[in-house]
């Protein structure tokens, strides 16, 4: 019989015993098998067939311990440190919101297909993706898969995707965040030379966003000549 322990307010430290190893499930849905031999602060140290693995406790969903464990000691997980504003005051916990508003919405992309070779793959490459990453994770993703226009030029066919960008918003915990708006073609590498004139691959970073409970921050983004206007993107707190 196996016992499943969840890492919530407690982290389990194994006292060495004869064991075939623990099974660790991570947030990226991967699974690691190894023997937990040490907890150093927020780092779990495992011995596995691949050597020594060090995993941050924030990446762990659960650990399944082997039946043969002799004993288990409990190590309290420290409470997360509160977010702190620039003036040193703590930012209260609670929900907040990030919104993205596009001043100019139209964006287009073209890709050329020679003799209709790899047609479906070219179409997929020309899909336009809009993604907002918050603290390194995708908080919003939208793919425009419409090919609005097909232009035949003898042996070459151009596929044009015209997208009207849509405003959107995501809920986030209050505190300090790092956000990044990305607008790009789904594949900007495989058929790079076939894009006319080049694939869309634009990034607008917004670092150190201090968001308090109940506040909404709007990222105003413009487009000029098919490019996001990175310099004029503005962060607007809305009370």
**Full strand arrangement of the beta sheet holding 106-114:** 149-153, 156-164, 106-114, 195-196
CATH of domain 3-76: 2.30.30.600
The token pair that represents 218 in the structure block: 């709007």
- The string of DSSP letters for 157-210 reads EEEEEEEE---EEEEEESEEEEEEEEEEES-SSTTGGGEES---EEEEEEEEEE
pLDDT at 230: 46
Considering only CA atoms, which of 93, 103, 184 is closest in space to residue 144?
184
pTM: 0.59
Confidence of residue 82 (pLDDT cuts 50, 70, 90): low
By DSSP bridging, strand 137-144 and strand 201-211 are unpaired
| Cα 68 from Cα 35, distance rounded (Å) | 12
**131 CB-near residues (< 8 Å, 6+ apart):** 138, 140, 141, 142, 181, 182, 183
Q: How many residues does the chain have?
A: 239
146/27: higher pLDDT: 146
pLDDT at 225: 62
pLDDT for residue 14: 39
Q: pLDDT value at position 234? A: 60
Q: What is the pLDDT of residue 32?
A: 76
Residues 6+ positions from 138 with CB-CB distance below 8 Å: 131, 132
Provide the pLDDT for residue 144: 92
Query: 141 is written with which tokens?
Result: 């993703």
Assess whether pLDDT exceeds 70 at residue 91: no
Which of the two residues, 206 and 191, has the higher pLDDT score?
Answer: 191
For residue 75, cis peptide bond before it (omega within 30 degrees of 0): no
pLDDT over 50 (residue 73): no
In which band, very low, low, confident or very high, does the pLDDT at 55 lie, cut at 50, 70 and 90? Answer: confident
- Give the per-residue pLDDT at 88: 61
The H-assigned helical ranges of 103-152 are: 119-125
Q: What are 17-48's pLDDT values in tens digits?
A: 334 577 777 777 777 777 777 777 677 777 77
For 165-192, write each residue's pLDDT tens digit.
899 999 999 888 888 899 999 999 999 9
Q: Where are the chain's structural domains?
A: 3-76, 95-238
Could you tell me which residues are beta bridge partners of residue 234? 220
């Amino acid at each position: 019989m196996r016992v499943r322990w969840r890492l919530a307010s407690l982290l389990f430290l194994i006292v060495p015993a004869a064991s075939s190893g623990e099974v660790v499930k991570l947030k990226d849905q991967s699974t690691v098998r190894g023997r937990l031999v040490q907890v150093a602060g927020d780092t779990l140290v495992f011995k596995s067939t691949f050597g020594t693995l060090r995993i941050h406790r924030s990446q762990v969903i659960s650990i399944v311990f082997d039946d043969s464990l002799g004993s288990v000691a409990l190590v309290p997980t420290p409470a997360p440190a509160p977010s702190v504003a620039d003036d040193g005051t703590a930012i209260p916990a609670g929900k907040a919101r990030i919104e993205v508003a596009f001043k100019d919405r139209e964006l287009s992309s073209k890709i050329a297909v020679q003799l209709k070779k790899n047609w479906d793959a070219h179409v997929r490459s020309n899909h336009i993706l809009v993604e907002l990453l918050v603290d390194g994770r995708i908080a919003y993703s939208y793919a425009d898969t419409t090919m609005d226009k097909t232009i035949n030029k003898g042996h070459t066919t151009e596929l044009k995707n015209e997208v009207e960008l849509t405003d959107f918003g995501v809920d986030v915990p209050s505190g300090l965040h790092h956000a990044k708006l990305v607008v790009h073609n789904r594949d900007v590498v495989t058929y790079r030379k076939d894009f006319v004139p080049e694939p869309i691959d634009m990034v607008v970073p917004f670092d150190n966003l201090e968001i308090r409970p109940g506040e909404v921050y709007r990222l105003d983004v413009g487009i000029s000549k098919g490019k996001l206007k990175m310099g004029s993107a503005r962060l607007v707190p809305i009370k």
